[in-house]
Amino acid sequence: MPSMEGRTVVVTGANGGLGHEATRVFARQGATVIMACRSVERGERAKAEIRRTEGRTRVPEDALDVRECDLASLASIRSFAEGVAADVDAVDVLCNNAGVMAIPRSETEDGFETQFGVNHLGHFALTARLFPLLRAAETARVVTHSSAAHEQGEMDFTDLNWERSYGKWRAYGRSKLANLLFAYELQRRVEEHGIEDVKSVACHPGYADTGLQGRMADESGNPLMKAGTKLANAVLAQDAAKGAWPMLYAATADIEGGAYVGPGGFLNMRGSPVVMRSNEASYDREDARRLWAYSVEETGVSFPFERE
């Protein structure tokens, strides 16, 4: 991984799991990392842990900047982006990492089904609001974190908010498919507008033990699920540090815009990162255009180059 000296990186969900591990490595390589966290308290604890384990000289106080950003709130996203714009001149890397997985149906502050609202719409709005700072960098990259679960996702534009029926895993799969449709469409649109200094790429972590699976099993109250999750993590999963490799690779390696990065080992669940293909549905240009238009309409946020 190259030096990140002089670069500013924004990581959503930086206080835990893959976001925490990616933040650690970005900071270790010299970047200033803006830790976009729903809970500032948890973000500050993560910051303290990184500085303690990496060394306070190697990761100075101002290398990690914890800020509140609740992706379930368009107002919070706007406030976060305005605060960042007031304090930094450019953003070199945006890692759209935070997310929720397979939760009971609920709605965000703005009335979106939570998995679709947080995993896709929140990151769509955040990327659009930070886009002027990305363009201000010499070269910039947007990394959108998806999942192998996108392969089970289906786009139903008559019920994106899951008001007629709801399945927590189907909703998760759709949100992860939406991540890829967005990432690839963003790359197509920056190319169409002649923007050569911003790339949009995507990644997935494989099967990584981030604690997310354990929390989901605990919430289920099912002892068999708890035991099965614990066994699967022990046998199949790689640790969170390795799970962050595809995101780090996607953020820094010499790859093409529109690339998709994931583990190249056993069943693409573990191993070193490689560029691969996602499923055919994720490359559906008509669905991508429909999703983009829906996202603009629902969030009320558009990308600056489409207003020029």
Residue closest to 172 by CA, chosen among 144, 203, 151, 186: 151
Q: What is the pLDDT of residue 217?
A: 46
Q: Which CATH superfamily groups domain 8-206+247-262+279-306?
A: NAD(P)-binding Rossmann-like Domain (3.40.50.720)
Annotated active-site residue in 172, 184, 207, 260: 172
253-290 residue pLDDT tens: 999 999 999 998 777 787 899 999 999 999 999 999 99
Q: What is the pLDDT of residue 238?
A: 78
Q: What is the pTM of this model?
A: 0.93
N-to-C CA span, the chain:
36
- Residue 67 in contact with residue 84, Cβ under 8 Å? yes
Per-domain boundaries in the chain: 8-206+247-262+279-306
Regions of the chain short of the pLDDT cut 70: 209-237, 308
172 catalytic? Reply is yes
